[in-house]
Structure 1
């Protein structure tokens, strides 16, 4: 008999993504996959579907309960994904979610701050991450304790950037979603990368970008490209713009 969320913990809920194509268990409180993770998966699908590798290997840093990996796998069944997650309770859910999917995906319990070499991993075609957005807990109102690991990067953003560029093959891609005001730190923190492509993410058409998707290529030499922004909301009755609704339903990806 298949496990139900109630057999895990009373605070675990079942969530569906991409119009029901993905089902996963998440905590009722604490970190849950949201818009940033959905856009990360859609952007990763856009990279994978460029078709440079028939069976690309993917590594997600800080994979949470596996929502990004499973969303990417639903869009691109040819991928083989590995996720790294530090929080023990979250990691336990990740393992179960990935096992339910029946795909070739796996999760590793570990801390990004210990560095790529400590994991004895191969290098990957694509490394992606939605890392914690703050380096210092004093820079924001303290989050709920269950959300703290997802919000506070104890080792700093640079540790995540160092891990990513060490873990990707030459010519492979890195994809991060992060705060727009950290764009300079991301570009400067990837000295072995180039061919940067930046997509701003704006809440409304007349509001400044709060997030950015940043794509980089290890040893890339192409000039930096700044793409048109993705607008999340319009002023009508819909919650999201038609483009974003299509992404959330799994009917569209983010191209590059």
Structure 2
């Protein structure tokens, strides 16, 4: 049974607000202050939804479940697991599952830095993530304490890439969205066990350089790297998003590879 937003509560005193995704089909309770799902998580879910032959999927650092539940809504038959280190975010993710009357979604509280073996899980057809974008706190102005865990990867990006490669089955897919200037690190890190790379740049405007990249890889993949045309988020007109992105955000289209 779908739960009313007002019924959501946590043991801590964290204050939450309601957010709606996919044209209102996904309802989320998120912290009023701190990390909140944005464009990156929405695009990540849309990119994963278009992959073939995926029955089980794992999200690393699932937060309150925005990308996880968006993917579940797009692919109802998919069995999904999310790992989240922060207790309040993991608790909210668990609450958001029945809020959307969904099943087949599991939230595990744990640290990616422990490595995949520590979780004693079976490997997955798909592993996806929107990991923290910085691993050196000295490279940016210190974020607010409520956002630090989402911004700073304490064990470094390499730990997330290694975890993903250990967690995915042979020929399974890995999908990451990250800063464009870390593309070389992502490709190098995933090359330990993966290949068949597909890269899709994400540009704010057609005449601006990419700030983000979507990277797809396959464990033991051998196909040549493919660089796709960029996804342009905004046009120069009155629309907030380009028609393609608007359709993706509303859940009317997946993000194709």
- Compute the TM-score of the two structures, normalised by the length of structure 2: 0.95
Structure 1 window deviating more from structure 2 (240-249 vs 124-133): it is: 240-249
The structure 1 segments of at least 4 consecutive aligned residues displaced by more than 2 Å after TM superposition are 1-7, 99-102
The aligned residue for residue 227 of structure 1 is: 228
Partner of 1:195: 196
Alpha-carbon separation, structure 2, partners of 1:115 and 1:17: 31
How do 1:89-168 residues align onto structure 2 when only pairs under 5 Å count?
89-100=88-99, 101-168=101-168
- Specify the alignment match of 1:87 in structure 2: 86
In structure 2, the partner of 1:244 is: 245
Which one of the candidate residues 38, 41, 51 is aligned to 1:37? 41
* Structure 1 residues 6 and 84: alpha-carbon distance in aligned structure 2, compared to 1, 3 A threshold: same
SS at match of 1:145: coil
Give the match's secondary structure for 1:84: strand
Asked whether the 8 Å contact 1:5–1:14 carries over to 2, the reply is no
Contact 2:194/2:220 (<8 A) preserved: yes
Q: Which runs of 5+ in 2 are unaligned?
A: none
**Cα deviation per residue 1:139-194 (whole Å; 9 max; x = unaligned)?**
01111110110000000000000000000000100000000010000010011000
Please give the alpha-carbon distance, in whole angstroms, between the structure 2 residues aligned to 1:5 and 1:33.
20
Contact 1:5 1:25 in 2 (8 A): no
Q: Distance in 2 between matches of 1:250 and 1:2?
A: 22
CA deviation digits over 1:1-40, x for unaligned, max 9? 9453475257211111000111111111111110000000
CA distance in 2, matches of 1:252, 1:214: 19
Alpha-carbon contact 1:195-1:222 (below 8 Å) kept: yes
Could you tell me which runs of 5 or more consecutive residues in structure 1 were left unpaired when the two chains were aligned.
none
Q: What is the rounded CA distance, in whole Å, between the counterparts of 1:247 and 1:164 in structure 2? A: 25
Find the aligned partners of 2:21 and 2:160 in 1 and give their Cα distance.
26
Confirm or deny that 1:176 pairs with 2:180. Answer: no
Structure-to-structure mapping, 1:41-80, within 5 angstroms: 41-47=45-51, 50=52, 52-53=53-54, 56-80=55-79
Is the 8 Å Cα contact of residues 13 and 28 (structure 1) preserved in structure 2? yes
- Which residue does 1:185 correspond to in 2? 185
3-state secondary structure, aligned to 1:244? helix
Change in Cα spacing, 1:138 to 1:99, as seen in structure 2 (3 Å) is same
> Which residue number corresponds to residue 30 of structure 2?
26
Aligned length: 251
TM-score normalised by L of structure 1: 0.95
